[in-house]
């Protein structure tokens, strides 16, 4: 189901206290109109009724695209460590007293992901909409970074975050690297050919993983490849 909650907020611009409705969960099978609204970040948007200023409110939010057996849990970085560890244990299937947690561990409820920022939330949806596996995408992003770094030493030294994004003008996809210090953006084409090659090599190994891959990011890709080098694998 989809759930809306009313909370009290204070506008940071004019100081007005007001009541706002926020989305706690959205299930697009039950509320198909919310499919696009989630991608426009309307579930995070709050507008002050006095001054009209709007902003994104980062609160825990569960997105359920049941028709594709996919759940995406946004837990902001402002959440305390105890809350994060509790949710991580639940989605990792380590809460043996909870039936849903056990089903997640047995992979009977589809894919579940946890993200900590809104850009990562939107990235996961972009990957889902493209019909791609985010684990293979993370591997490709890492290989792209390694390839560029091998040719450009200064690039390798920069503190970067990478994102999979759609190039609306050309109806294609890009890997965008964001410099965390200068906010400069550098892009590289997302290669479907490389993705297919990565899927051919690692797809079976990914699908055969014993535990749910709840947090899939660059660290996951590095750990996966390190483990893959130590074990024989079959091509998909």
* 215 within some domain: yes
Nearest to 215 by CA among 89, 32, 131: 89
Based on the domain organization, do 191 and 93 belong to the same domain?
A: no
Give the domain range for residue 110.
3-116
Based on the domain organization, do 151 and 223 belong to the same domain?
A: yes
Based on the domain organization, do 96 and 173 belong to the same domain?
A: no
Nearest to 220 by CA among 136, 152, 146: 136
Residue 178 has pLDDT above 60, yes or no: yes
Strand runs labelled E in 38-152: 45-47, 54-56, 61-65, 70-74, 111-115
User: How much of the chain, in percent, has pLDDT values that exceed 90?
Assistant: 76
* 162 within some domain: yes
* 86 within some domain: yes
Based on the domain organization, do 77 and 148 belong to the same domain?
A: no
| Confidence (pLDDT) at 170 | 79
Based on the domain organization, do 101 and 198 belong to the same domain?
A: no
Phi, psi (degrees; rounded to nearest 5) at 208: -90, 5
Q: Scanning the structure block, which residue is given the tokens 């770094």?
A: 149
Structure tokens at 72: 């995406």
CB 20 within 8 A of CB 27: no
Q: Is 101 helix (H, G, I), strand (E, B) or coil?
A: helix
* 127 within some domain: no
Q: What is the count of structural domains for the chain?
A: 2
Phi, psi (degrees; rounded to nearest 5) at 11: -65, 125
Q: Report d(CA 144, CA 138) in Å as an integer.
A: 10
What digits encode the pLDDT tens for the residues 114-143? 999 999 999 999 999 999 999 999 999 999
Binning pLDDT at 50, 70 and 90, where does residue 110 land?
confident
Binning pLDDT at 50, 70 and 90, where does residue 206 land?
very high
* 123 within some domain: no
Based on the domain organization, do 138 and 221 belong to the same domain?
A: yes
Based on the domain organization, do 152 and 93 belong to the same domain?
A: no
Final residue before a domain boundary, out of 90, 116, 142: 116
Based on the domain organization, do 104 and 156 belong to the same domain?
A: no
């Amino acid at each position: 189901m989809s759930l809306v909650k009313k909370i009290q907020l204070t506008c940071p611009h004019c100081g007005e206290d007001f009541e706002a409705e926020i989305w706690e969960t959205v299930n697009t099978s039950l509320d198909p109109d919310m499919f696009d609204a989630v991608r426009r970040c309307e579930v995070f948007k709050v507008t002050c009724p006095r001054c009209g200023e709007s902003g994104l409110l980062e609160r825990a939010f569960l997105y359920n695209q049941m028709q594709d057996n996919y759940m995406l849990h946004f837990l902001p970085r402002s959440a305390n460590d105890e809350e994060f560890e509790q949710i991580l244990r639940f989605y990792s299937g380590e809460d043996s007293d909870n039936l849903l947690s056990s089903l997640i561990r047995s992979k009977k409820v589809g894919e579940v992901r946890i993200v900590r920022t809104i850009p990562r939330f939107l990235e996961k949806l972009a990957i889902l909409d493209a019909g791609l596996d985010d684990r293979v995408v993370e591997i490709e992003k890492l290989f792209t970074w390694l390839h560029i770094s091998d040719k450009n030493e200064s690039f390798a030294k920069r503190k970067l975050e990478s994102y999979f994004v759609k190039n609306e003008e050309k109806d294609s996809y890009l890997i965008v690297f964001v410099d965390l210090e200068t906010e400069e953006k550098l892009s590289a084409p997302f290669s479907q050919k490389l993705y297919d090659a990565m899927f051919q090599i690692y797809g079976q190994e990914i699908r055969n993983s014993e535990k749910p891959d709840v947090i899939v990011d660059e660290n996951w890709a590095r750990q996966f490849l390190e483990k893959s080098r130590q074990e024989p694998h079959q091509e998909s």
